[in-house]
Amino acid sequence: MYIRNYYRRFAAVSLVFILFFLLCVARLIFIQFFRSNYLTGIANKQHNLYVELEPRRGTIYDANFHPQAFNIAADSVYASPGEIADKDKELIIRKLAPVLQLNYAYLKDRLYRKKSFIWLARKITPQQAGAIKAIDLRGIGLIKESKRSYPNGYLASHVIGFAGLDNTGLEGLELHYDKFLKGEPGWALFLRDARQKKLGLWDKMALPRDGYDLVLTIDGVIQYIAERELDRAFKTNHAKGASIVVIDPHTGAILALANRPTFDLNEYKSASKDDMRGRAITDLFEPGSVFKIVTASAALEEKKVSEEQKFFCENGSYAFAGHVLHDHRPHGWLTFTEVIEQSSNIGTCKVAQLLGADQLYRYIKLFGFGTKSGIDLPGEISGSIKEPRFWSKTSITAVPMGQEVGATALQLASAISAIANGGQLMKPYVVREVRDRYTESIKIFSPILVSKVMSLDTAARVRKILIGAVEEGTGKLARIEGISVAGKTGTAQKLEPNGAYSHNKFVASFIGFAPAEDPKIAIAIVIDEPHPYYFGGVVSAPVFKNVASDVLKYLKTKEPLMLSEKD
């Protein structure tokens, strides 16, 4: 009986063990074939740390290869809330808040999250990083990142733009060329021990591709000269805004472009939208008398007038289609040359009537007005000009002198360049080359002809008239001793909200080029709402004189260097 019971118990225990063994085998088979990927993933998370490797954002250089934007190392603060005891978190918050200049509620929210990693502050100052290292708090660490730096602060801020916290372009060239500058991130899998400590060994890695560099047409010296003089005029004339464009008239390369008000690229977060606005390409205004270069060029090209042909300027008051047109001062008989030199509205409108609306409109479009120039900067507007079929009876007297037309400072610079270079409208551009860190060219930008505006002969005749406008006419304050200057002044009334022209708000402008016989530079200056003086010949012409004089001196010093480089 005893032996029989023993065998029964033995059989029962054996059966249990066999069933348990089969259950274990079944469980292992289930884990191996159905749960292996899940468990492998958990193991990898515990023992492998995925780290994104940040690429170097490309450097932006001026035409002289002086860096205008580049990346520098910066520390970022992170926390591992899971490693910090709750009793220690309050102490950490009190110590970190004054160093990072963050409020209590923000830090508390971050530290009490159930995460193994969380950012507390990105790209802090070296002083803040030093203070955190000195405190030496458990669960708080620093990681090296890169931060965009702009060594010249305000200089060319509206051209260069800025990149955000994650090194993505947000404005200007930083935005427009972000796909070239940013590069592609890499990654690495670092091994960790059971306590989650990084061992400094990597399992797999893909290296990042660094961003490409930009070489600009902007010359830092010319940019400084232009900004210095624009800033002086902006402040002296108590203006609302101001823009300047300096351009190579033969190629369309922008040598300098600036606006006021402006902002420091390193402190862009504190700048207002008004400060950031790139007025030279985003602001629309009626150009006024500078627009008379279009009427003059069209009339000469179409052989409607000659330089010595006389026009009666009605002694300053001209009734047309129920509207009375005035000159800024009365004139009697003036030759066509004198009409432009003295900036007679009445004389210009009589010339336009000989030309006709359709022909005038065609030349307005040839000069690039009403169309985006295609400059490689974000935010450009096209301006505005109505087709002749939408003109009123008085439009033929308004459009020729720059009313009922919307233009930008850049369009004016391109238009005067077309006269300076012999009649060709060139596409403006600010980037000369995209290249890699080894200086190998990735993309080169060459001058592009947009349209043939007029013949070489007509351009030469208009140039002579514009020289007279500076020597004998309204642009006398733009004269440079020993250098011939061609240019045109403009004083335009701004529109009030009710559609009427204002009697106390004006846009003062000057466009010109020098030396007149062999132009090296063309410049457009626009001053918005200057006071108490508001005439373009008084407010903007002196800016041209100062900028052109210093830039031409500077370019002379560069010529020997350029010749030696060619040798």
Catalytic residue ranges: 289
* Separation between Cα atoms, residue 57 and residue 299, nearest integer Å: 51
Contact 400, 347 (CB under 8 A): no
What is the CB neighbour count within 10 angstroms for residue 471? Answer: 16
**Per-residue b or e along 319-330, where b marks 16 or more CB atoms closer than 10 Å to that residue's CB:** ebeeeebebeee
Strand partners, 69: 60
Structure tokens at 166: 């994650």
Tell the residue number behind the tokens 């405190």, with chain if given. Answer: 135
Sequence-separated (6 or more) residues with CB below 8 Å from residue 550: 225
In Å, how far are 103, 308, 420, 521 from 414, measured between CA atoms?
51, 28, 10, 11
Contact 176, 445 (CB under 8 A): no
* Separation between Cα atoms, residue 443 and residue 531, nearest integer Å: 46
* Separation between Cα atoms, residue 519 and residue 249, nearest integer Å: 7
In degrees, to the nearest 5, what angle opens at C-alpha 225 toward C-alphas 224 and 228? 80
Angle between helices 357-366 and 292-301 (to 10 degrees): 110
* Separation between Cα atoms, residue 192 and residue 197, nearest integer Å: 5
* Separation between Cα atoms, residue 28 and residue 30, nearest integer Å: 5
Contact 219, 255 (CB under 8 A): yes
- Asked if residue 542 has a cis previous peptide bond (ω within 30° of 0), the answer is no
Sequence-separated (6 or more) residues with CB below 8 Å from residue 43: none
Could you tell me which of 331, 340, 369 has the C-alpha nearest to residue 465?
340
Tell the residue number behind the tokens 């702009």, with chain if given. Answer: 150
Sequence-separated (6 or more) residues with CB below 8 Å from residue 194: 46
**Per-residue b or e along 77-99, where b marks 16 or more CB atoms closer than 10 Å to that residue's CB:** bbbbbeebeeeebeebbebbbeb
